[in-house]
């Protein structure tokens, strides 16, 4: 059954990540079953919303509350459209557990892709098995954030990437708008950059964008030069110096607002 009314996320206190149903039934993984039944204390008969991380959601009834293999019966389905602007966040690796928070916030704000960057001033260096474990942890954080905020899309999180590899990436090269957060005086406001984009594209907002956010101490002058040569616009996030986690959250928030809310009656002023 197709549900085209109220988003399914508001219809239940329980959300789980799952593959597409088979013959109207979903069997959850042991991790998802444990979280649903043991942690969240769901019981047989409860309504549960399952989602696949790519926009598909199913309203279900919990029919078997096994802790290692809970079963759901699908009662309605719904497919949500992606957000109007596909945003990639390229975040230079910060110290400590700050990246965990950045991943959660980016997921809540609807980022489609998160790229951890190794930059000149990055103080955290991840290699081999340690890098794989960190990426796995960030993917778990993104999934948890998607469950909590009702986002049916889980962002792609790639492995730690060098700046050169990032700038050569097809997704980056194909993005309609490329932005780098900058503390330099010549950096422009996002609104000014978007006004320029709209003027060149018949008044429409970009359908895809990339935000680069630096580490503690910002990107080096050489990195900024390389980024601008690759088509990145230096953008200011205001007169105050922000922590990198605050900068990442602010960058996505402002871009999301300007590409989805602001165009209604927007005059294009800088």
Per residue in 19-67, pLDDT (tens digit) is 999 999 999 999 999 999 999 999 999 999 999 999 999 999 999 999 9
Q: For 9-27, what is the mean pLDDT?
A: 85
pLDDT in tens, 211-251: 999 988 889 999 999 999 999 999 999 999 899 999 999 99
What pLDDT is recorded for position 193? 96
What pLDDT is recorded for position 124? 67
Does the domain made of 86-260 have the CATH classification 3.40.1280.10? yes
Question: To the nearest whole number, what is the mean pLDDT of the chain?
Answer: 89
- In this structure, CATH architecture of domain 8-79: Beta Barrel (2.40)
What pLDDT is recorded for position 12? 67
Spans of all domains in the chain: 8-79, 86-260
Residue 87 has pLDDT above 90, yes or no: yes
What pLDDT is recorded for position 216? 82
What pLDDT is recorded for position 185? 85
What pLDDT is recorded for position 264? 42
Residue 210 has pLDDT above 60, yes or no: yes
Q: What is the 3-state secondary structure (H, E, C) of the chain?
A: CECCCCCHHHCCCEEEECCCCECCEEECCHHHHHHHHHHCCCCCCCEEEEECCECEEEEEEEEECCCCCCEEEEEEEEECCCCCCEEEEEEECCCCCHHHHHHHHHHHCCCCEEEEEECCCCCCCCCHHHHHHHHHHHHHHHHHHHHHHCCCECCEECCCEEHHHHHHCHHHHHCCEEEEECCCCCCECHHHHHHHHHHHCCCCCCCEEEEEECCCCCCCHHHHHHHHHCCCEEECCCCCCCCHHHHHHHHHHHHHHHHHCCCCCCCCCC
């Amino acid at each position: 059954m197709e549900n085209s009314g109220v988003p399914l996320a508001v219809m239940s206190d329980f959300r789980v990540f799952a593959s597409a149903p088979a013959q109207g039934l979903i069997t959850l993984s042991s991790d998802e079953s444990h979280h649903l039944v043991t942690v969240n204390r769901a019981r047989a008969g409860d309504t549960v919303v399952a989602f696949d991380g790519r926009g598909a959601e199913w309203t279900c009834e919990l029919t078997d509350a096994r802790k290692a293999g809970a079963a759901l019966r699908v009662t309605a389905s719904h497919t949500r459209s992606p957000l109007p602007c596909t945003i990639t966040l390229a975040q230079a690796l910060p110290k400590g557990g700050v990246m965990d928070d950045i991943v959660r916030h980016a997921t809540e704000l609807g980022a489609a892709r998160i790229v951890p960057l190794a930059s000149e001033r990055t103080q955290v260096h991840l290699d081999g098995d340690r890098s794989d474990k960190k990426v796995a942890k960030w993917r778990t954080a993104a999934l948890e954030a998607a469950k909590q905020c009702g986002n049916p899309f889980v962002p792609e999180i790639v492995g730690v990437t060098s700046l050169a590899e990032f700038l050569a990436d097809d997704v980056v090269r194909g993005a309609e708008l490329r932005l780098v957060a900058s503390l330099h005086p010549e950096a422009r406001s996002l609104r000014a950059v978007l006004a320029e984009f709209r003027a060149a594209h018949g008044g429409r907002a970009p359908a895809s964008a990339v935000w680069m956010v630096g580490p503690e101490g910002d990107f080096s002058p050489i990195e900024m030069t390389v980024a601008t040569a690759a088509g990145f616009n230096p953008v200011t996030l205001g007169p105050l110096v922000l922590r990198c986690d605050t900068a990442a959250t602010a960058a996505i928030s402002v871009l999301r607002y300007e590409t989805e809310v602001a165009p209604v009656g927007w005059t294009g002023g800088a």
